[in-house]
Amino acid sequence: MATQSLSLEVGIQPLQRDQLEGAARFIIANVDVTGYMSASPSYKWYVMHWIRDSAFTATALFEAGEYLKGRNPELAEGCIETAKRINSFNVDAISNHMDHVREGNRVALEMGDFNHLKYHVPARVGRNGKIFIGKIGDSLVDDTDNDSLVQHDSVPLVLLALVKEMEFGLSKKKEDFLKGNLATLVEYMAKYFKTECCNAWEEDCGHGHAYDVAAMYAGFEAAKKLSERLSLAYSPREIEKTVDGNYPGGPIKFLRDYFIRGDVLYGMRDKYGADPRMDKGVDTQLIFAFNMFGINDSTLGTRNVVRNTMERIEQTLFGCGRECSPHMLGWRYVGDEYFMGGRWLISGAQRADYYLGLENPVLEIANSYSEYFRGFGGSYPEQIPEHAASWRDRPEEYMNRNRGMMIQDLIWSYAEVLRFEAQFQKLLEKEARKRLRS
């Protein structure tokens, strides 16, 4: 793992700014006036609106808009307004399923069917902001009983995006939504962060996932900020009482109890009360926990868990031993076979963000990522091929899924490049100012 900071002979590169602005324009052009965002405009099976992808995208747009304000005001405004539209659509989608949330708050976990979609906000929706039912090509898709859409990150990620929007002014409609529903949503998150779900990849359903527990932690922190800023009757102290009433110490204690072993944060466990699946190892989802959800050694009360976990991720998922240069992109998890078993672009962007966020940022790694992303020519795919054995055994099954192509133009990939480049440019400019002063 690299530990030295770049001497900053690199300056602020115009091409990097072009890369940032190009990603922003592509996202803006592919978000509907309603805020609806197909996960990919070029792959028919991704026509639906994923709440997770779109919430991460809104957050990236807010960060890019903040950076661009004094540099490209028109594009900055486009980023901010598009992010607000996405948040509006996601708030409406949650509103459309508040009956699910309230029913989920009532059902006893002992009943055993709490993983049914009827108790949760679905991970993806159609243009009406409700469970998707419709035709894709010649196929009828009905998500009504699609329990793979039971994922625990939808609500907290929207709350995080709303915290970002507060910096630019929340609409009265969103404020009213929070005033009327925040307590119910916190109760829902407090009840379910301990339970099983499908992970962010919509796989390993019926297991507990550290990523989702971490997302819930971030959701509670976001709820407290929203409550304080809006002076809600449901105060930050009341939120803490709700969380601790369901599990003393909340998600952080839960991560320590059930996911950390030997100073490593593992990605998955089986049923409630089980130890982590150490045989399954780590997962690139965990980098989001470190970068986006406030999970660090300070919050965990540990010393080297984050560093050790990142080393394990780099060794096993970025194709790197201890004494080598890792691949720029990582697999999602060991044994990933989805769509030829490729390496995902979002994993690389998150790894770059991790090194930017260190106390002593490793700008050399960030600069190498900026150059690497430039090589995609402004079109960012979901992943790049790494042909797994399963692909060799069943080539037609994989090649026919998207006309023999990897999935291009994944909006989430654009968002991660955008967020990374905005953070990188800000840091470069900060370092340049320091050099001038010295």
Q: Is 1 a member of any domain? A: no
Residues spanned by the domain of 262: 14-437
Neighbours of 135 (CB within 10 A): 8
How many folded domains does the chain comprise? 1
- DSSP secondary structure letters along 217-233: HHHHHHHHHHHHHHT-S
Q: Is 5 a member of any domain? A: no
pLDDT tens digits, 118-144: 999 999 999 999 999 999 988 999 999
Cβ-proximal residues to 241 (8 Å cutoff; 6+ apart), any chain: none
Cβ-proximal residues to 11 (8 Å cutoff; 6+ apart), any chain: 428, 432
Q: Is 7 a member of any domain? A: no
How far apart (Å, rounded) are the C-alpha atoms in residues 6 and 363? Answer: 5
Q: Is 100 a member of any domain? A: yes
Q: Is 8 a member of any domain? A: no
How far apart (Å, rounded) are the C-alpha atoms in residues 56 and 413? Answer: 10
Q: What's the pTM?
A: 0.93
Mean pLDDT value across the chain? 90
How far apart (Å, rounded) are the C-alpha atoms in residues 205 and 199? Answer: 7
CA 206 to chain CA centroid, Å, is 20
Going by C-alpha positions, the residue among 283, 253, 284, 249 that lies closest to residue 268 is 283
pLDDT tens digits, 50-82: 999 999 999 999 999 999 998 999 999 999 999
Q: What percent of the chain has pLDDT over 70?
A: 90
Q: Is 3 a member of any domain? A: no
> What is the domain-level CATH number for residue 385?
1.50.10.10
Q: Is 4 a member of any domain? A: no
Q: Is 354 a member of any domain? A: yes
